[in-house]
Amino acid sequence: MKSTENKYLVNEYRSRINRVFDYIETNIEKQFSLEELAMQAGFSKYHFNRIFSAMVRETPFQFINRIRLEKAAAMLKYRTNDTISDIAIKCGFSDLSVFSRNFKAHFAMSPTAWRKINPENSNMSQTLGNFDQEREAISMYFCDESKTIKWSSTMELNQSTEVKKLPQMTVAYVRHTGAYKGDEKLFEQMFNKLCTWAAPRGLMAQEDLKFFAVYHDDPKVTEEENLRTSACMTIPADTKVDGAIGKMEIAAGNYAIARFILTAKDFEQAWDWLFGTWFPSSGYQPDDGPCFEMYTEEQEGGKIPVDICVPVKPL
């Protein structure tokens, strides 16, 4: 009985810290106070800092600063039409000199240097080189069935790519912080935990039920031990959650939706193709907000149908 009680308490603390993560991520451009963050967690401000630091291994403001810098680094890579000053403001830095100083301390180079050499220093340059043929072979067509523009390519794993509006979705989630690449068992455990919670509540019988894996950080920027991912399922907006199960909104907006049929080892290649080949040919750039994988069909014979979804805006 004591073990069950302890597990509940640990899950409750994790749930409260996750609420703070979600609040920070949704409002990254604003300035936060300790009182404000403590209120989101439901802890006294006198204890919140100690609890957060012990569980996250960073103080709240160290965490906020790191998330802002990593978001800025990703935007510098993909949002080439935005100025460094624009990106600094969007990531919560009102002073460009403060942003530049913090960026250099974290990445050991200036934002300008990062923007210039990052493509050559990252896996992206290899991706661009590997997929030159596919990039040239991408073609656009109008789909009568969906009434949208779609793209086809010679990339065998990709079935189609389109940009369309997704509605706001409320999801329940189980979150993991740490490495996840190629860890099928981890994702299986996370989704099993989510379904075990959902089934007794009748949530598995929802019409148009969807499952997601949401990625909150760019794995080419954030250290593995700090990567956050959430196994999610759609739920009615008024659903109550507690303990290890959190709740968040996936924002409405335009998304690039790339359909793939993958095995577990193919996911990285699919993501790299989308960012390294499709985006440069599309007329779009990634917009703010987390990317996610959406699973709408059962896998069969080790093949996983998946829609990789990335928020977009015109280039």
* Domains with residue ranges and CATH for the chain: 2-120 (1.10.10.60), 163-314 (3.20.80.10)
Tell me the β-bridge partners of 303: 300
Locate the DSSP E strands across the chain.
139-143, 148-152, 158-166, 169-177, 211-215, 228-234, 246-250, 253-262, 284-286, 291-295, 304-314
Residues of the chain with pLDDT > 90: what percent?
53
| Among 178, 196, 199, CA closest to 188 | 196
- Per-residue pLDDT tens for 191-246? 999 999 999 999 999 988 999 999 998 887 888 999 999 999 999 999 999 888 99
H or E stretch covering 21: helix 2-26
Q: Which of 83-97, 118-132, 234-248 has the lowest mean pLDDT?
A: 118-132
End-to-end Cα, the chain, rounded Å: 57
| Average pLDDT over the chain, rounded to an integer | 85
User: Where do we find the tokens 């189609």?
Assistant: 160
Token pair for 310: 């990335």
Token pair for 107: 């990445």
> What's the per-residue H, E or C state across 70-93?
HHHHHHHHHCCCCCHHHHHHHCCC
| Coil vs helix vs strand at 240 | coil
DSSP 278: I
